[in-house]
Chain A
Amino acid sequence: MKTYYNPDDLARFSEISQYDKELADKFFKWYQEVFAEGALSAREKSLIALAVAHALQCPYCIHAYTEDALAKGYSEEQMMEAVHVAAAIRGGASLVHATQMMNRINQLSIS
C-alpha cells in the first residue's frame, strides 16, 4: 500500500542537506545540542520529545522517541502519562477558546 509516510525515510533524514547543506548542518548541530545533558537530563528531554511528537502527531518522531524512551528506561505507564499531558494541553487549548465563544454569545445576545 502506498502512503505518504515511509518508515525507511526516517533513516534518510540527513539527506535533506542535499538541497541546502548549510542550513541542514546548522539544524542538526542545534538539534544535537538541544538533546545533550543540560539543566534537564537527556533522559527527561527524551520524554518531552515523546509527548511533543504526539502533540504534533509526527509518525517519525513517535517511532524514534518511543524507542529512545524505552532505551532510557521509562515504563509504559510513564510514557502513556506523558502522552496524556500532550493530549490534555491539546484538548485544553481547544476548550479554553470556549471562553471566546461565550464572550461572543454575550456580545450578540439580548441580555
Chain B
Amino acid sequence: MPTPMATLARQQHPLASTEVQLKYLDEVTGVVPPFAHQLQSAGLDLKALAPEILQINVGKLCNQTCRHCHVDAGPDRREVMSRETMEQCLRFLDRSGMRIVDITGGAPEMNPHYRWLVTECHSRNCRVMTRCNLTIIVAAPRFRDLPEFFAKHQVEVICSLPFYEASRTDRQRGAGVFDASIEALKVLNQQGYGQPNTGLLLHLVYNPVGAFLSGPQHVLEQQFKKELHQRFGIVFNNLYVINNLPISRFLAFLLQSGQFEEYMKKLVAAFNPATVPALMCRTTLSVGWDGYLYDCDFNQMLDLKITNSNGTPIHISDVTPEQLEGRAIRLSQHCYGCTAGAGSSCGGQLVQ
C-alpha cells in the first residue's frame, strides 16, 4: 500500500486544534440554531443514564489516514494508552459492574498492550467489541493471527467498510485499502466470523463517502450483503450505518470543498427528536488514551471532557459510575450528526 498522507497534527494544520474546530462549530450558529436550543424547542434535554458500555480509545496510532477520520489518527500519531491506564480502566470495570467494553482507536491492535487488555476484559466475562479497520490484519505478519485471537476471546469484530466497491472505499480510506479489506474479511470468514451458528459476530460500519447523509440501514445492509456475497463470497452479520460528524478531518474536507454550511443545514433539516432518547452518549462512557472521560468519542476528539461540579476533568482512576449518572451531556453543533434522520451511533442508526 502507498504511504498514507500526514495527519492534520503532523501537518500542523489549524484544524488540528480543538479550539479552532470548536470556533467553526460556534460560528455556524449564525446559520443554524444551537443544538441545545434545538433540544429545548423540542422539549428535550440530554442527561446521561447509568453507564452500560465502556468505550476505551487506546490511542490515535493507525496504519491508515482516512479522509473523514474524526480522530485524526495515522501512522505519525504517538498518543497510545499505557498499561497503567488500562489497569485503571479494568479497576473501574471491577468496581462498576459494567460488562460491555468497546475498544477503539486509531487501529487499537497497534497498541502494544491491546491483546493484554482484551484478554483481561474477556476473563472478566465482559462482552468485548473491537473496532477494526480490516487492513491491519494483513498489514504485517504479526497481525495475521488477529482473527484467531479474536475468536479465542469471543471478541465481536466491528469493521469499517464504507462501500462494496474499490473506487469509493479507496477515495475515503486510501489507495489499496479496499483490496486489503476484502482479503481481511475473507480471513475473518474462514475463522468463522459472520458465519451462521459460530457465535462469532462480524459487523460492518458504513458511513457516506462525502457530504451526504446515510440512507436507511436495512436497505444498505441488504445491498452490502448481496454485493459482497456475489462479488467476493463474503458474509457478515449486521451493517451499522453512521453519519459523518463535522469535526477533524471531515470538517477539513467540508471547509476545503465549501460545503460546511450546507452540510450543517442538511443535518439540522434532518433533526429527528425521536433519536434523542436513544443517543449513545446517554449510556456509553468514553475514555481517552490518557484516562480522561468523555460523553462520546467525538467529544473526546474535541477535548470536551466530563468534569465535576467545579469544572475539574474527571479521570477514570478517580470516579464511580454513580457519580456519572444524571450528568448533563456536553453539547456542540456536531451533535446534530447523531440526531439526523434515523440517528447515528457506534451501533448504527437509532430509530426506524
Using a CB–CB distance below 8 Å, which chain A residues touch chain B? 11, 41-43, 67-68, 70-73, 75-77
Contacts and interface: CB of A to CB of B under 8 A. Distances in A.
Interface in B196-217: 208, 210, 212-216
B223 interface: yes
The 8 tightest CB contacts between A and B, nearest first, are: A71-B215, A72-B215, A73-B223, A73-B220, A67-B212, A70-B212, A75-B165, A43-B219
Nearest to B265: A11
Contacts of A72: 215-216, 219-220
Contact of A73 (B167, B213, B219, B269): B219
Given A68-B215, A71-B213, A72-B215, 4 more contacts: A73-B215, A73-B220, A75-B165, A77-B165
11 contacts: A42-B219, A70-B208, A71-B208, A71-B212, A71-B214, A71-B215, A72-B216, A73-B163, A73-B224, A76-B167, A76-B168
Contacts of B224: 73
Interface in B15-42: none
Interface of B: 163-165, 167-168, 208, 210, 212-216, 219-220, 223-224, 269
B219 A70 contact: no
Nearest to A75: B165
* A interface SS class: helix
A26 B25 CA distance: 39
Contacts of A70: 208, 210, 212
A71 B241 CA distance: 11
Which of the listed residues A41, A67, A68, A71 has the most CB atoms from chain B within 10 Å of its own CB? A71
Nearest to A74: B223
Contacts of B215: 43, 68, 71-73
A27 B67 CA distance: 41
B340 to A, nearest CB: 11
Contacts of B208: 70-71
Nearest to B214: A71
A42 B215 CA distance: 11
A82 to B, nearest CB: 15
Contacts of B213: 71
A67 B259 CA distance: 14
Contacts of B163: 73, 75
Contacts of A42: 216, 219
Contacts of B167: 76
Contacts of B269: 11
Nearest to A67: B212
Contacts of A73: 163, 215, 219-220, 223-224
Contacts of A77: 165
Nearest to B269: A11
Contacts of B212: 67, 70-71
Contacts of A11: 269
Contacts of A43: 215, 219, 223
A68 B219 CA distance: 13
A72 B221 CA distance: 10
A72 B168 CA distance: 14
A7 to B, nearest CB: 9
Nearest to B165: A75
